[in-house]
């Protein structure tokens, strides 16, 4: 009888593609997505796909680094020895080359640094490989920041955007600080509803003055506003607190949702989160986002908390 009630309740749920995570967890049978994942696991087991080998760095030799302080090189070596990589067709070597090594030099002004990594490997066990790395560096020149120009900025002034990059003209060029500044621009635009905003940077290297200037083209896109807001399973007080931050026709700011979950964490269900309790749908015609917040427990979702009529 209980299963019958659950089946009837579930049949009433709207079918809109993928089942929401909170509903999926409440179902008494696997969803199609769960069955597909289980099938994939069975296939992997039948094919006896070997586990990925782990790479442990045992020794690192850096060649050609004549300008980088030895203390910085030692930090890089120790960081590499502490990491474990997965052997995926040699991509771990490219990861070290581009992310671990090149970034160290580019954060210190060596914008055009060239890096190559060679690995000598030795099997240490069924799933473990030891590696000795030889890193060859062609440092090139150390550059300083030239000017930063903005193109296509209409929502915020160039002065507002420029303050987000914590580098002054003449500072040692630091590509990481530029990246952090671009991320800050994305958050600023997103807070005003420009969720598709993309900054497109282009670098101009002056070899004579040893300066790197940047041109940032601001692809602002369209502004999204809040459409429909539906809230399920909250107390009137919490629902009011949420709705007061998300008013229809105002610019959509996703950070407001994160802040609500953080501030009201103690009052919300233990498993409530932005990921499994909030659903954001775009309406491309209206350039709006519809929001659904579902904090109901399984009994409420499946309708098992409703009083059932007694048989005469």
DSSP 10-69: HHTS---SSPPHHHHHH-SS--HHHHHHHHHHHHHHHHTPPPPPEEEEEEEEEES-SSS-
* Span 130-141, pLDDT tens digits: 999 999 999 999
Residues 231, 244: Cα–Cα separation, whole Å: 12
Q: Coil, strand or helix: which one is 94?
A: helix
Q: Set out the domains of the chain in order of their start, with CATH numbers.
A: 2-47 (no CATH), 54-138 (3.10.20), 144-219 (3.10.20.310), 225-301 (3.10.20)
- Residue 8: its pLDDT value, please? 43
Beta-strand ranges (E) seen in the chain are 54-63, 84-86, 114-125, 128-138, 144-151, 198-206, 211-219, 225-232, 278-283, 288-294
- Residue 129: its pLDDT value, please? 87
* Span 215-225, pLDDT tens digits: 999 999 999 99
- Residue 256: its pLDDT value, please? 94
Residue length of the chain: 312
- Residue 123: its pLDDT value, please? 83
Residues 278, 281: Cα–Cα separation, whole Å: 10
- The ranges of the chain with pLDDT < 70 are 1-37, 43-51, 88, 301-312
Torsional sign, CA 223, 227, 233, 238: positive
Distance of CA 245 to the CA centre of its chain: 24
Residues 118, 132: Cα–Cα separation, whole Å: 8
Q: Is there a contact between 260 and 196 (Cβ–Cβ < 8 Å)?
A: no
- Residue 91: its pLDDT value, please? 86
Quickly tell me which residue has 């909250």 as its tokens.
Answer: 234
- Residue 267: its pLDDT value, please? 93
Which DSSP letter does residue 159 get?
Answer: H
């Amino acid at each position: 009888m209980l299963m019958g009630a659950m089946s009837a309740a579930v049949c009433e749920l709207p079918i809109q593609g993928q089942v929401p995570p909170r509903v999926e967890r409440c179902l008494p049978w696997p969803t199609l997505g769960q069955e597909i994942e289980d099938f994939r696991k069975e296939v992997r087991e039948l094919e006896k796909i070997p586990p990925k080998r782990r790479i442990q760095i045992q020794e690192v030799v850096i060649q050609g680094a004549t300008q980088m302080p030895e203390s910085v090189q030692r930090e890089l070596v120790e960081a590499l020895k502490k990491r474990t990589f997965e052997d995926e067709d040699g991509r771990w070597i490219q990861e070290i080359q581009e992310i671990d090594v090149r970034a160290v030099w580019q954060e210190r002004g060596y914008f055009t640094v060239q890096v190559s990594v060679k690995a000598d490997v030795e099997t240490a066990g069924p799933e473990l490989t030891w590696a000795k790395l030889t890193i060859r560096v062609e440092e090139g020149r150390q550059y300083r920041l030239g000017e930063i120009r903005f193109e296509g900025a209409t929502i915020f002034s160039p002065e507002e955007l420029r303050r987000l990059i914590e580098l002054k003209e003449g500072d040692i060029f630091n590509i990481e600080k530029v990246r952090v500044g671009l991320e800050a621009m994305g958050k600023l635009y997103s807070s005003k509803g420009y969720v598709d905003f993309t900054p497109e940077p282009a670098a101009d290297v002056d070899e004579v003055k040893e300066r790197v200037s940047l041109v940032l083209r601001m692809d602002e896109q369209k502004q999204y506003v809040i459409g429909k807001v539906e809230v399920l399973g909250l107390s009137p007080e919490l629902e009011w607190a949420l709705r007061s931050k998300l008013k229809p026709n105002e610019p959509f700011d996703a950070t407001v949702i994160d802040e609500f979950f953080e501030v009201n964490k103690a009052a919300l269900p233990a498993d409530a989160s932005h990921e499994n309790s909030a659903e954001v749908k775009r309406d491309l015609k209206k350039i709006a986002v519809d929001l659904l917040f579902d904090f109901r427990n399984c009994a409420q979702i499946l309708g098992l908390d409703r009083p059932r009529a007694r048989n005469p």
